[in-house]
Amino acid sequence: MGKPLKVLMIEDSDDDAHLIAGELRHGGFDVDYRRVDTSSVLENALTEDTWDVILCDHAMPKLCAPEAVSILKQHKIKTPVIIVSGWITKELAKATIDSGANGYVSKNELHKLVGMINKELEHSSKKKPKAKG
């Protein structure tokens, strides 16, 4: 059994979502994920549950990464956001990171995703206030 990981995937492809989840399982995570592909379903997912990490495709027919990042900001979500896209220019990736995403991984280089998630989870856990005891 791997390390539990609740993932919100902003992704329009079931096949890509399964591929990403498989890569995470291969990397040692026990993945529980929900796939969303519209702004309204994204907003519902944000209010219905909490997530360890949010993975977002860049360009989808009904929702794009900059719009998704904007929605996350409106909801004051502090969960790490990683763009996972099949095709994106370096300029668009940088602009999305500048707008609030924590990083970017190409779908052609999914082997890098586990390391990036571990780094973001470690970084976000250091930001959390320690419980007083």
The secondary structure of 44-98 as a DSSP string is HHHHH---SEEEE-SB-SS-BHHHHHHHHHHTT--S-EEEEESS--HHHHHHHHH
Domains of the chain: 3-127 (3.40.50.2300)
Please give the model's pTM, rounded to 2 decimal places: 0.89
Give the pair of three-digit tokens for residue 101.
């995403």
pLDDT digits (tens, 9 = 90+) for 52-100: 999 999 888 899 888 999 999 999 988 999 999 887 777 877 887 888 8
Q: Are 113 and 20 in contact (CB under 8 A)?
A: yes
CA dist., res. 63 & res. 56, Å (int): 10
First to last CA, the chain: 31
